[in-house]
């Protein structure tokens, strides 16, 4: 048991340590993951930034293409419109006011259908004669645009293009202009203006900044209006003069943004076509510093640059956000793993405890089984011993029975010798008489004597047969035996004694035709009856007119009672106490062994019955045998009669 319990505690200790080791390993894994993710932060940031820059680059190209497309689509329009005869006509004859409304309306219709802000016609002096906006308050008619480079360029070079903040409309516009020829003579100039506001609306969705700068570095278009007309650096004198002379923008608006350019290298982002820089801006009011990575593309025809500024902090925020999610995932995974490990440890502990319990139980069961086995073996040995003892007892009992019978025979020998001697003497005298009668020729009388001799011989043969049966060793088996026949045999056996003692035998048996079958052995039951009858005769030795009552009655529970009552001295107190003990006798030495009742007791018990004795209220002793009634219709009875 001791070794068993030490073996059992070992796995429990191991299973308790293992989860602790697992938890430590898990904590280490989590910490290493966190550390690695922190170390990887710059790379993640750079990758994210690269992605953002590529995205913004694509946006920038799109913006560039949209503007470039819009400009190139409009570029050819003035030359086409200049071909219209009505324009030539009104220029040729400015005083013909009848044509002007038609010209104006035509221009209006054209502007409407082409989605163009304004179309207007100027004479060679720059004064507007006809305009699409002739109906509006801000109508250009009568206004002079000689100061605009597109006008002079159209006159000088055949094409003019320009962008400016409209002096009349206050709207930013791009202007294309072409001369109106009359043969080779220039009659005037037609100008087409497109507004730029509509492009900007689409830029406001992104958190990157998008703006367009002109050749001087003035922000001419922007996603946010507060950056409009700000410059990326201080303007040169010449530039300022040019702006002022052409009234391109109001000079007061042109204040430089506070920015600082820095070199930047981004390993993940290689695009030679783009300029890369970090711009720091600080706005008016509450100071705001924002770092951007800037990309630029050129719209050569207009001399514009499309700028896209990607906030560099956003990648860090995004990277940190990503890391936070990653950490959260790692932590949740770690926690789940820890919980799982904990559960597993508990389960292991429970299993170990159950195993320990099961082993203890098993050990106990084994112990019990061993105990039971040894008890069983002991019991078996005892049973064998008992069986042997019983066999010995049975043997002894059988021998005693035999001894008892022989003793009874011994007791009967005097009577028997008388029984034999008397008929022998009678046979002798009958024989002599028969001889005498024969001599005298009295045949009938001789025959009578011979018949008597024959009767005597029969009687002696009968006694001899009973004696032989009585002396025989009985069989052990139980059979159904006829009680009436057994009683008759016993009485026959004791007949000489009964007659000598002049006993008046009163038999109280059921009617003749009712055979009484009981369970037992014929010889043994006969021996019991002989015993009881002998004892009764012994007890009545001094009684002058002895009477014996022998009755057989049915009892409850399928039993048969045989009662034998004498008129002797009855049972003394001693006798009542020890009646059935072996070797208890009150008789003289040589008269009794004290075995008769003890043997009878055992025989009746073997039959499944019982024997009882009492003093009858009217005097004398009464012995009763209670025997089991045989089951009806049993075929063994007749055979039993022959064998027993
Ligand atoms: P034994 O006849 O050899 O003495 P038993 O066992 O047959 O042995 O009887 C034991 C004793 O029981 C007898 O000695 C006698 O004292 C007493 N006993 C038996 N039968 C009777 C009886 N019918 N009346 C009085 N006493 C009896």
Protein residues whose CB sits closer than 6 Å to any atom of ligand 1: 531, 535-536, 539, 566, 568-571, 575, 579, 584-587, 592-598, 621
Distances (CA, A) of 269 to 12, 48, 62, 379: 59, 10, 19, 98
In a domain, 300, yes or no: yes
Range of the domain at 567: 475-628
* 644 CB-near residues (< 8 Å, 6+ apart): 474, 475, 479, 481, 521, 522, 523
Could you say which residues of the chain have pLDDT below 70? 1-19, 263-288, 401-402, 404-416, 418-419, 466-467, 469-476, 590, 633-644
The residue to mutate among 406, 538, 566, having the most atoms of ligand 1 within 8 angstroms of its beta carbon, is 538
In a domain, 582, yes or no: yes
Segments in 472-568 forming alpha helices (H): 483-500, 522-539
The dihedral of CA 503, 508, 509, 511: what is its sign?
Answer: positive
In a domain, 394, yes or no: no
Between vectors from CA 549 to CA 548 and to CA 550, what angle results, nearest 5°? 115
Give the CATH number of the domain where residue 594 resides.
3.30.565.10
From the CA of 580, give the closest atom in ligand 1: 6
538 CA distance to ligand 1 middle (Å): 8
Report phi then psi at 100, rounded to 5. Answer: -55, -45
**CA gap 372, 375 in Å, rounded:** 5
In a domain, 113, yes or no: no
* 619 CB-near residues (< 8 Å, 6+ apart): 567, 570
Residue the block writes with tokens 């308050």: 137
499 CA distance to ligand 1 middle (Å): 21
DSSP label of 227: G
Residue at a domain's end among 254, 288, 315: 315
Check: pTM over 0.85? Answer yes or no: no
Q: Count other Cβ atoms within 10 Å, centred on residue 436.
A: 13
Q: Nearest residue CA, atom 7 of ligand 1?
A: 596
491 CA distance to ligand 1 middle (Å): 19
**CA gap 74, 191 in Å, rounded:** 11
Q: How many domains does the chain have?
A: 2
pLDDT number for residue 474: 63
In a domain, 507, yes or no: yes
In a domain, 592, yes or no: yes
In a domain, 605, yes or no: yes
Residue at a domain's end among 315, 347, 378: 315
333: left (phi over 0), alpha (psi -120 to 50) or beta: alpha
Residue at a domain's end among 315, 338, 363: 315
Q: Nearest residue CA, atom 11 of ligand 1?
A: 585
pLDDT number for residue 604: 93
Q: Nearest residue CA, atom 13 of ligand 1?
A: 585
427 CA distance to ligand 1 middle (Å): 37
622 CA distance to ligand 1 middle (Å): 12
In a domain, 497, yes or no: yes
Q: Would you state the torsion angle of the CA atoms of residues 126, 127, 132, 137, taken in this order, to the nearest 10 degrees? A: 130
Is residue 208 classed as helix, strand or coil in its secondary structure? coil
Give the CATH number of the domain where residue 289 resides.
3.30.450.20
pLDDT number for residue 465: 72
pLDDT number for residue 414: 60
pLDDT number for residue 210: 93
Q: In the structure encoding, which two tokens stand for residue 10, read together?
A: 């070992």
598: left (phi over 0), alpha (psi -120 to 50) or beta: alpha
Q: Nearest residue CA, atom 10 of ligand 1?
A: 585
585 CA distance to ligand 1 middle (Å): 6
pLDDT number for residue 190: 96
From the CA of 536, give the closest atom in ligand 1: 23
């Amino acid at each position: 048991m001791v070794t068993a319990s030490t073996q059992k505690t070992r796995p429990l200790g191991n299973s308790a340590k293992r989860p602790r080791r697992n938890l430590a390993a898990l904590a280490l894994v989590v910490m290493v993951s966190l550390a690695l993710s922190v170390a990887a932060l710059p790379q993640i940031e750079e990758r994210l930034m690269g992605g953002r820059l590529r995205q913004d680059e694509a946006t920038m190209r799109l913006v560039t293409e949209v503007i470039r497309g819009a400009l190139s689509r409009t570029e050819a329009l003035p030359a086409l419109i200049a071909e219209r005869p009505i324009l030539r006509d009104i220029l040729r004859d400015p005083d013909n006011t009848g044509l002007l409304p038609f010209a104006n309306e035509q221009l209006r219709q054209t502007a409407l259908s082409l989605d163009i802000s304004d179309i207007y016609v100027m004479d060679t002096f720059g004064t507007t004669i006809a305009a699409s906006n002739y109906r509006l308050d801000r109508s250009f008619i009568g206004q002079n645009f000689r100061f605009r480079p597109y006008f002079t360029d159209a006159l000088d070079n055949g094409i003019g293009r320009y962008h400016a903040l409209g002096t009349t409309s206050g709207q930013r516009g791009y202007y294309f202009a072409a001369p109106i020829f009359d043969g080779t003579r220039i009659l005037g100039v037609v100008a087409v203006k497109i507004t730029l506001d509509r492009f900007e609306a689409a830029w406001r969705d992104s958190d990157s900044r998008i703006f367009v700068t002109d050749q001087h570095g003035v922000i001419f278009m922007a996603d946010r209006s507060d950056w409009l007309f700000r410059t990326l650096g201080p303007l040169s004198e010449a530039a300022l003069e040019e702006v002022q002379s052409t009234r391109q923008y109001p000079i007061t608006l042109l204040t430089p943004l506070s920015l600082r350019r820095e070199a930047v290298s981004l390993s993940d982002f290689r695009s030679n076509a783009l300029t890369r820089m970090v711009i720091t801006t600080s706005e008016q009011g509450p100071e705001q510093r924002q770092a951007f990575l800037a990309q630029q593309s050129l719209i050569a025809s207009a001399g514009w640059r499309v700028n896209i500024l990607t906030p560099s902090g956003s990648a860090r925020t995004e990277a940190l956000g990503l890391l936070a999610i990653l950490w959260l995932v790692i932590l949740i995974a770690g926690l789940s793993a820890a919980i799982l490990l904990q559960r597993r440890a508990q389960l292991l502990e429970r299993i170990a405890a159950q195993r320990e319990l099961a082993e203890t139980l098993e050990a106990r069961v084994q112990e019990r089984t061993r105990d039971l086995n040894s008890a069983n073996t002991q019991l078996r040995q005892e049973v064998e011993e008992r069986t042997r003892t019983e066999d010995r007892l049975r043997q002894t009992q059988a021998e005693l029975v035999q001894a008892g019978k022989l003793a009874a025979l011994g007791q009967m020998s005097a009577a028997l010798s008388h029984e034999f001697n008397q008929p022998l003497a009678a046979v002798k005298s009958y024989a002599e008489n028969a001889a005498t009668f024969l001599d005298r020729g009295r045949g009938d009388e001789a025959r009578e004597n011979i018949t008597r001799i024959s009767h005597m011989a029969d009687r002696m043969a009968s006694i001899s047969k009973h004696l032989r049966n009585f002396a025989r060793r009985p069989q052990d088996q139980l059979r159904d035996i006829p009680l009436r026949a057994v009683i008759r045999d016993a009485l026959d056996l004791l007949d000489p004694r009964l007659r000598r003692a002049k006993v008046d035998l009163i038999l109280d048996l059921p009617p003749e035709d009712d055979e009484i079958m009981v369970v037992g052995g014929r010889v043994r039951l006969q021996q019991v009856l002989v015993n009881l009858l002998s004892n009764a005769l012994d007890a009545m030795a001094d009684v002058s007119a002895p009477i014996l009552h022998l009755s057989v009655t049915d009892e409850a529970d399928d039993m048969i009672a045989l009662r034998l009552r004498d008129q002797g001295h009855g049972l003394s107190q001693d006798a009542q106490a020890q009646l059935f003990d072996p070797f208890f006798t009150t008789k003289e030495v040589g008269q009794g062994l004290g075995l008769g009742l003890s043997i009878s007791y055992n025989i009746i018990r073997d039959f499944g019955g019982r024997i009882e004795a009492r003093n009858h209220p009217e005097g004398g002793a009464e012995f009763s045998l209670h025997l089991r009634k045989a089951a009806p219709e049993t075929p063994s009875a007749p055979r039993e009669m022959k064998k027993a």
